[in-house]
């Protein structure tokens, strides 16, 4: 059972905008920054969004992050087939004294 | 480019220990923490701990306390993670990851190593 809660799956059609939610608590998302990672099955995770809504170089601006209270969201606009992957949210947890991850959301592009 | 290259797959018997290496290149090794994260097959990501390559200081997730040790050899820009008293539940892919900002300050992990599969089986 992951500390951060994500929907196990999400889907959309090419060109569509989708969001993936990440729910936490006051000890993690509520008081710390949120980061998002993308993982193509069989490969290592890659940083997608850091400090809520910053993108590393090379990540297109179709990807954006936001936070409200103890929840965060990842939005992907102009969905493309290559966006199919698993997406994980993460945040430091003050109670557990370490970063915690969501269980991951498998994105399917129909 | 910044890169972390990990050692190869391991097969261990229950009760044994495993030591995974993570060689850094493309940046000054002692500048940023190295974290370790594991992922069991079909499961999510689980943080194990961090290590400061400059000071050698480390911090571990509570569930691994007493069983994990993170060290480094600065002369060869390599970090190590050793996990002891292995059981089948430790079968997973183990990743090292650089933290440009320490995790305890809201830091993120970038880049990640390619992963090392550790299989624990009798």
* Residues found in chain A: 110
Instruction: Single out the residue of A1, A65, A72 nearest to residue A30, CA to CA.
Output: A72
User: A51: which chain B residues are within 8 Å (Cβ-Cβ)?
Assistant: 106, 108
Instruction: Single out the residue of A79, A96, A61, A95 nearest to residue A20, CA to CA.
Output: A79
What is the distance in angstroms between the Cα of B104 and the nearest Cα belonging to chain A? 6
Residue B12, sorted as left (phi over 0), alpha (psi -120 to 50) or beta, turns out to be beta
Confidence of residue B106 (pLDDT cuts 50, 70, 90): confident
Asked if A45 and B109 come within 8 Å (Cβ–Cβ), the reply is: yes
Distance in angstroms (rounded) separating the CA atoms of residues A90 and B111: 15
Distance in angstroms (rounded) separating the CA atoms of residues A31 and A10: 27
pLDDT at A45: 98
Choose the mutation target among A39, A67, A98, A102 for the interface with B, i.e. most B CBs under 10 Å.
A98
Give the pLDDT confidence of B39-75 residue by residue, as tens digits: 999 899 999 999 999 999 999 999 999 999 999 999 9
Give the pLDDT confidence of A53-110 residue by residue, as tens digits: 999 999 999 999 999 999 999 999 999 999 999 999 999 999 999 999 999 999 999 9
Spell B30-63 as b/e; 16+ CB within 10 A means b: eebbbbbbbbeeeebbbbbbbbbbeeeebbbbee
E-assigned strand segments in chain A? 9-12, 18-23, 34-39, 46-49, 63-68, 71-76, 85-93, 98-101, 105-109
Give the pLDDT confidence of A27-38 residue by residue, as tens digits: 999 999 999 999
pLDDT exceeds cutoff 90 at A52: no
Distance in angstroms (rounded) separating the CA atoms of residues A102 and A24: 9
Confidence of residue B119 (pLDDT cuts 50, 70, 90): very high
């Amino acid at each position: 059972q992951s500390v951060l809660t994500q929907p196990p799956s999400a889907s959309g059609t090419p060109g569509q905008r989708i969001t993936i939610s990440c729910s936490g608590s006051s000890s993690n998302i509520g008081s710390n920054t949120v980061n998002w990672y993308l993982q193509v099955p069989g490969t290592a995770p890659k940083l997608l969004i850091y400090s809520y809504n910053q993108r590393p170089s090379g990540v297109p601006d179709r990807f954006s992050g936001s936070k409200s209270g103890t929840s965060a969201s990842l939005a992907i606009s102009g969905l493309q087939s290559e966006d199919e992957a698993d997406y994980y949210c993460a945040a430091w947890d003050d109670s557990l004294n370490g970063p915690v991850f969501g269980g991951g959301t498998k994105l399917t592009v129909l | 480019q910044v890169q972390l290259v990990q050692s190869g797959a391991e097969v261990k018997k229950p009760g044994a220990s495993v030591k995974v290496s993570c060689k850094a290149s493309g940046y000054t090794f002692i500048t940023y923490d190295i974290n370790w994260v594991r992922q069991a097959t079909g499961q999510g990501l689980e943080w194990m701990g961090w290590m400061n390559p400059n000071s050698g200081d480390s911090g571990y997730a509570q569930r691994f306390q007493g069983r994990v040790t993170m060290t480094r050899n600065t002369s060869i820009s390599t970090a190590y993670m050793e996990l002891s008293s292995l059981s089948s539940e430790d079968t997973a892919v183990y990743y090292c990851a650089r933290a440009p900002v320490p995790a305890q300050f809201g830091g993120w992990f970038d880049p990640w190593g390619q992963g090392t599969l550790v299989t624990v089986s009798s």
